[in-house]
Structure 1
């Protein structure tokens, strides 16, 4: 059986796997206007680390969505143990199971690249309220690499393609977002910062192949550290 990088994340139950981790998430949200009346959708919530943080920090309504049942089961366990009233939905970002104008904010942490971008971004725009905000953290191609290298990376992660900042901008603009900003994160990484570190919710049985997948991820990250970066996109009307 051919396992994917996303299968690997689910089996290891990695929380905060996106670039910048929980530290970046906390920093981003601190600049937004969020209170008890805010409705937030965490798309591709994984094991629920970010959803839990938002619910605890801001006491607002949080909806956590993921297409992976194993991830959602682990998220539910987290929410239950913390006694958090977070709504959990299984579904695809390409066809969100929500009405139009349902949310004040959507948070998408390294999720859109794994989907059909031409479907996901318009769906996010559809379910956002007129003055709603989309915060998306996505991988960006910083400089040209060979077609063979690009295909290797895309195939490993399950991306349709690698995109430059301007290509991402065009997708957001085409979906109807008018105010679009893209920022690099300069937050220093502190390996001793336990509060913001990735966490793990391990499955009982993990095949050796999954450790090989993680090793390949680390290898690609190191080899292409100058070619692959990420941006925080903030999009609204």
Structure 2
């Protein structure tokens, strides 16, 4: 069975794989009103790096949703060893297993792009409390390119659609969110910043195929450096 990019991401156990990494996550959360009574949902939580940070830093209740079983196991292992009160749930962003009006903040770190976006946004709005905040760090198309090139990128990463900033605004607006603010972060990652370096939680017996996928990812990263960026999306229910 051929491993996809997301499969290999899980096997490598990459923490903070989203654009901006944990450093950007810290920065955008610092701008929100969060206290011990806050309920936060981290969708597509991966190995649980962000969920662990939120729980530890803010001492609030965190729910972490993950659909990939390998990532789910790694998140459970991480959080069980540090005894943080995080609820880990297996599930899809398009079918959230939570009641209506439940969360104060929902965080999506490059997750919505990999889902059926209108359906996911509808679900996120449903489980947010009135005036609740959705924070997204999502891939964004910076300029139009050849259709064949775009399709190759979409096929490799498994995203359902790659949107421009204006398209993201319209998609979020059509989902019923308000006070939409989309910002661009131009800060380049600091390769010597060890505190916020990419984290790996490796599985055993990683195949040569996965290393090949990683090489392809690195090539796409170079080729699409000026074509695909990301935006921070903040909006309210």
TM-score by length of structure 2 reads 0.98
Structure 2: where are the runs of 5+ without partners? none
CA contact (8 A) 1:150 1:161 kept: no
Q: Does 1:199 align with 2:193?
A: no
Matched, 1:160 2:160: yes
CA distance, structure 1, for counterparts of residue 133 and residue 161 of structure 2: 25
Q: Is the 8 A contact 1:151 1:161 kept in 2?
A: no
Please, which runs of 5 or more residues in structure 1 have no aligned partner?
A: none
> Equivalents in 1 of 2:83, 2:178: separation in Å?
38
- Indicate if the aligned counterparts of 1:184 and 1:232 stay in contact, CA closer than 8 A: yes
Give the Cα separation in 2 of the matches to 1:68 and 1:196. 24
Which whole-Å deviations, capped at 9, do the CAs of 1:142-196 have from their partners, x for residues lacking one?
Answer: 0010000000000001122211111111111111101111111133422122211
Displacement after TM superposition at 1:83 (Å) = 1.3
In 2, Cα distance between equivalents of 1:150 and 1:187: 25
Residue in 2 aligned with 1:174?
A: 174
- 1:28-177, aligned counterparts within 5 Å? 28-177=28-177
C-alpha distance in 2, partners of 1:194/1:54?
20
Cα-to-partner distance string for 1:13-50 (whole Å, 9 max, x where unaligned)? 00000000001001111111111010000000000000
Rounded Cα–Cα distance in structure 2 between residues aligned with 1:65 and 1:73: 12
Give the Cα–Cα distance (whole angstroms) in 1 for the partners of residues 131 and 210 of structure 2: 42
* Distance (whole Å) between structure 1 residues aligned to residue 8 and residue 183 of structure 2: 29
Contact persistence 1:46–1:75 (CA under 8 A): yes
Taking the aligned partners of 1:24 and 1:166, their CA distance within structure 2 comes to 22
Give the match for residue 219 of structure 1.
219
Superposition misfits of 4+ residues, deviation over 4 angstroms: none
Aligned counterparts of 1:23 and 1:188: Cα–Cα separation in 2: 11
Instruction: State the TM-score, normalizing by the size of structure 1.
Output: 0.98
- Match of 2:218, SS? helix
- The DSSP-based 3-state class of the residue aligned with 1:200 is coil
My pick for the range that moved more, 56-65 or 191-200, is 191-200
Could you say which residue in structure 2 is the equivalent of 1:16? 16
Question: Secondary structure of 1:3's match?
Answer: coil
CA contact 1:18–1:109 (8 Å) conserved in 2: yes
1:234 Cα deviation (Å)? 0.2
CA–CA separation in structure 2 for the residues paired with 1:94 and 1:189: 31
Once residues 48 and 187 of structure 1 are traced to their aligned partners in structure 2, the CA distance between those partners, rounded to angstroms, is 24
| 1:2-13 matched pairs, under 5 angstroms | 2-13=2-13
